Structure 1
Amino acid sequence: MIESLQHLPPATATHATLADRFTDLAPPLTARQAAIESARCLYCYDAPCTRACPTGIDVASFIRNIHDQNVTGAAIGILKQNIFGGACSRVCPTEILCEDACVRNNDAEGQPVKIGLLQRHAIDNAHFDSHPFQRAPGTGKTVAVVGAGPAGLACAHRLAMLGHDVVVFEAREKSGGLNEYGIAKYKLPGDFAQREVDFLLSIGGIEVRHGHILGVNLHLQDLHTRYDAVFLGIGLGASRRLGLTGEDAPGLSAAVDYISTLRQAQDLAALPVPRRAIVIGAGNTAIDMAVQIKRLGAEEVTLVYRRGVEAMSATGHEIEIAKQNFVHMRTWAAPLEVLLDAAGKVRGMRFEETRMEAGRLVGTGAIVEIAADAVFKAIGQGMDGDSLDDPLARELERDAGSDKIHVDSFFRTALPGVYAGGDCIAPGQDLTVQAVQHGKMAALAIHGDIQSISSTSFAAGA
């Protein structure tokens, strides 16, 4: 339970009632619907949907397989490029990626092929007697991966395919990273995230060790010495602060902490639920938080952002989900002060109205107060201070003006033999599908570098 929210009452509905509110966001396609939808695809030779996919899935090919009633073949084509194809079919913002690029998404039709739902149909209905990919002959090399999230596990899986042994070090008690702890429960319901992890690990050659925290009981120097290469997929573990007095008061919490607690809750009815809530932020995490607290029974939820709707990083699809769940959006308002009651608990927030002036965001001086029993901040995350707190880790170069790790085009860091990907590096939009691609491409780079070193050593020995 989140300590700062313990004073709030539990949900008023039963667990069964609440669980019904956290099923899949969209119903799956039936076999008939999938057949009709796959027939709409033009199977473009130079498919723009494939070019728009961060993992390079051959969209036209897997849709044609569905049309030809080869669902398992379609799934194999997806998983070959994206081993997290099941999760991504549910959480990937297809409306700004492959479906946005679909040639049917034009003024005349305005209705792209439902690529996300077709991908989900393929993965959910595929039947494998064993893992669909076989490991290459063993190389005798072992790679350390730090972080069992989408980037780390995608890297581990590809390395295992290439014949390497992999040891994954994970801080938390479950693998899956963002998919297990940070995605809205209505996007990845039930134990879907864990089943996907189990499927990934079934290729063999991957050992996961939980309870290992980089900078605490795990150090980069040791990994660098003991393993042939190291991949860092450590994500961003620290929630950014508002920098306001009262930020540590009961009733104020990081959105990611509540989402994590919600996803792991065995009894949804035991979760603390405010009658009125404020969510500060403009991204998909802010939307996830606002929608979920509303579904848990909050009477009034207000999402507040300091700029306009057009500047929000959340996609239009996510914003529509918020509206459908009766989340009130208050834009052009910047946090000014946390309001506390006589007992020192959150009773609301004071905001200053803002506007753009000569290209700059400025306060207007007008004040707005919003009453709330709880405030959830979803203003982004940064690098955990302990993560890179050992002598060797401090040598990792950071991107200018950022705490993210600098990598080259092959995901190599400034330290030879150390690679990084996912949210802890700068490129991308912090999407699951991009993290998967980072891990996959880093694995290919690691494989190439290890093989090159081995060949050079062999030649020198000869």
Structure 2
Amino acid sequence: MGYEVDVFEAKAQPSGLTVYGVAPYKITNEETLAEMAYLQAQFGYNVHFNSPINSREELAGLEDKYDAIFLGIGLGKTNELGLAGEDKINCTGAVEFIAELRQHHHQVAVGRKVIVLGGGNTAMDAASESARLGAENVVLAYRRGKEEMGAYDFEYDLAKGVGVKGLFNVAPVEIMGNGYVAGVKFIRTETKDGKVSEIAGSEFVEPCDMVIKATGQAKQTDFLSLIPGLKVDGKGRIVADAHTGQTSNPKYFASGDAWNGGAEVVNAAAEAKLTARGIHAYLSK
């Protein structure tokens, strides 16, 4: 639409999750970066790499310099579970594991037996990649039944196709081991009327030497609290107009995971196009 655009990117490469967060067997860095280079050549926006915005002072500087600010910050690190032993060596978050994979693919070491905690598409990615990297056993552990997983059926089929086993109706209680991960203590669960309850006295330990937590990503509420008048909902998602992407601070607009709470790359792209039109309407006034 003819505007001058500056992108402030915290990392060294563009495109967020498609370079840092999608499993390598789905898309390569080369494909993603080629598309980013094509877009930049077409539209001529400026990208400032290794340029995180972390403070109120930095935001104030942007507010003074720019007519509108778009928040495409997505989500943050893997949620902490609050489990005993979560800090043991070889217990990692799925988002961090896949980011490491995308940057240093064949140099990433996995355990001989890996337990992946979670039932979403990211859990499937972590499990599939662990198997592809040479783990002898990969167990996907989920606190509900198989039919209640958030992952798409074809994602689970892909994981099973490379040897991943499912362990359902179990909730992690503790990460076992002395310094290093040696297993996960689980308790069996049951689902009644949509609610998960634990079965007393059903604890057991599943040995392993690596745990990957695919338990969702934290919202970036600390950063969002630095923006005056910006509303977030009870789940930490940015509140924005459904038709324009404009937030409660009229200079700020949003879309993608920071707004919808976590969806697909195509959702973020479609929402961002809608929001670009919202910014155009705002500036046209």
TM-score category by the smaller chain? over 0.9
2:180 maps to which residue? 345
Is 1:290–1:301's contact at 8 Å kept on the other side of the alignment? yes
1:396 is aligned, of 230, 240, 249, to: 230
2:254 maps to which residue? 420
2:262 equivalent to 1:451? no
Aligned residues: 283
Q: Closer, same or farther in 2 for the Cα pair 1:215/1:349, shift >3 Å?
A: same
Query: After superposition, what is the alpha-carbon deviation per residue over 1:22-71, rounded to whole angstroms, capped at 9, x for unaligned?
Result: xxxxxxxxxxxxxxxxxxxxxxxxxxxxxxxxxxxxxxxxxxxxxxxxxx
Is 1:411–1:421's contact at 8 Å kept on the other side of the alignment? yes
| Aligned-partner residue type, residue 176 of structure 1 | S
Structure 2 residue matching 1:238: 3-state secondary structure: coil
Is 1:215–1:386's contact at 8 Å kept on the other side of the alignment? no
Q: Distance in 2 between matches of 1:386 and 1:349?
A: 31
Q: Distance in 1 between matches of 2:51 and 2:29?
A: 26
2:102 maps to which residue? 263
| Aligned-partner residue type, residue 195 of structure 2 | R
Q: Distance in 1 between matches of 2:281 and 2:56?
A: 30
| Aligned-partner residue type, residue 245 of structure 2 | F
Is 1:216–1:386's contact at 8 Å kept on the other side of the alignment? no
1:122 maps to which residue? none
Q: Distance in 1 between matches of 2:25 and 2:171?
A: 29
| Aligned-partner residue type, residue 292 of structure 1 | E
Q: Distance in 2 between matches of 1:218 and 1:339?
A: 44
Query: After superposition, what is the alpha-carbon deviation per residue over 1:366-389, rounded to whole angstroms, capped at 9, x for unaligned?
Result: 113211111000110012355335
Q: Closer, same or farther in 2 for the Cα pair 1:187/1:217, shift >3 Å?
A: farther
Is 2:116–2:138's contact at 8 Å kept on the other side of the alignment? yes
Q: Distance in 2 between matches of 1:426 and 1:261?
A: 25
Q: Distance in 1 between matches of 2:68 and 2:83?
A: 42
Query: After superposition, what is the alpha-carbon deviation per residue over 1:295-320, rounded to whole angstroms, capped at 9, x for unaligned?
Result: 00000000111011221111011011
Structure 2 residue matching 1:395: 3-state secondary structure: coil
Instruction: Calculate the TM-score normalised by the size of structure 2.
Output: 0.95
2:263 is aligned, of 427, 430, 437, to: 430
Instruction: Calculate the TM-score normalised by the size of structure 1.
Output: 0.59
Structure possessing the higher radius of gyration over alpha carbons: 1
Is 2:221–2:236's contact at 8 Å kept on the other side of the alignment? no
2:112 equivalent to 1:278? no
Q: Closer, same or farther in 2 for the Cα pair 1:171/1:357, shift >3 Å?
A: same
Is 1:397–1:406's contact at 8 Å kept on the other side of the alignment? yes
Is 1:237–1:381's contact at 8 Å kept on the other side of the alignment? yes
Q: Distance in 2 between matches of 1:218 and 1:432?
A: 31
Cα displacement (A) at 1:394: 5.0
Is 1:212–1:218's contact at 8 Å kept on the other side of the alignment? no
Q: Distance in 1 between matches of 2:275 and 2:110?
A: 42
Q: Distance in 2 between matches of 1:423 and 1:214?
A: 18
2:163 equivalent to 1:326? yes
1:370 is aligned, of 206, 210, 213, to: 206
Structure 2 residue matching 1:335: 3-state secondary structure: strand
**Unmatched 5+ stretches in structure 2:** none
Higher helix share: 1
1:223 is aligned, of 62, 68, 79, to: 62
Is 2:84–2:173's contact at 8 Å kept on the other side of the alignment? no
Is 1:224–1:418's contact at 8 Å kept on the other side of the alignment? no
